[in-house]
Amino acid sequence: MALLANKTAIVTGASSGIGRAIALKFAAEGANVVIADTVEQPIEGGESTVGMIRAAGGTAIYLKTDISDWTAVDALVGVTVAQFGRLDAMVNNAAIYTSTNLVETTPEQWNRVIGVNLTGSFYCNKRAVTQMLTQAPVNEVRGRIINISSQHGMIACPGDLPYSVSKGGIVQMTRQIAVDHADDLIVCNAIAPGKIITGKPGVANDP
């Protein structure tokens, strides 16, 4: 049996880049995958993630989602559970990037990056945990959360203020959720990738 057979996972920011690779791997391991992104087509062009998964015989749906909007995140999890019965894994990958230092960063840039990267992750974590608390454990786990941070969340890089602050916040949020909900049988971890060329470097699905 495939490793993730009969499991359901949401992957945010999965139309392109790292999220797309995660979604494809989850599907290859048998998971039902929900692609949550602001647009369905990848920024690098080519076939959609859902199309690739279905062509390979997997199960996937696309749900247009702006994770900086609580109502959209609430609906994302609600539709997922209505269609597949439960939520086994939440991968919080969606992010945007602004390469600016303190003086260069406008209030609008700050609010947008923090709104998507940090507040959006808070919304997704909160809604996922709320759902997982209602589910019966499977192999002693109610659900798993994977937050995609960055090495920029742990080291200082020149001209990287809003992005690095948002990713550092994700690291601490992950620690706190893991501690607060370990007894609830919810597992929360973070991954901090290094420099990866994905799609069009520095470009995000942020219409």
What are the pLDDT digits (tens) for 62-102? Answer: 999 999 999 999 999 999 999 999 999 999 999 998 899 99
Residue 154 belongs to what domain range? 8-191
Single pTM value for the model: 0.91
Round to whole Å and give the CA distance between 31 and 128: 17
Q: Is 203 contained in some domain?
A: no
List the end-to-end C-alpha distance of the chain, in Å, as a whole number.
Answer: 40
Confidence class for position 113, pLDDT limits 50, 70, 90: very high
For residue 190, the one-letter residue type is A
* pLDDT value of position 196: 72
97 is catalytic: no
List, for residues 114-154, the tens digit of each pLDDT value.
Answer: 999 999 999 999 999 999 999 999 999 999 999 999 877 77
CA gap 205, 16 in Å, rounded: 8
Q: What is the per-residue pLDDT for 193?
A: 83
Tell me 136's DSSP state: P
Q: Are 163 and 152 in contact (CB under 8 A)?
A: yes
Tell me the three state secondary structure of residue 137.
coil
How many domains in the chain? 1
Place of tokens 């086994």: 88
Torsion of CA 94, 98, 101, 104, to 10 degrees: -140
Q: Is residue 15 part of a domain?
A: yes
* Given the residues 62, 97, 123, 163, the one annotated as active site: 163
Task: Say if 2 falls within a structural domain.
Answer: no
169 found inside a domain: yes
Assigned token pair, 101: 């230092």
Whichever domain contains 31, its CATH number is 3.40.50.720
Q: Which sign does the torsion angle of CA 115, 119, 120, 121 carry?
A: positive
Answer yes or no: is 14 within a domain. yes
DSSP conformation class of 200: S
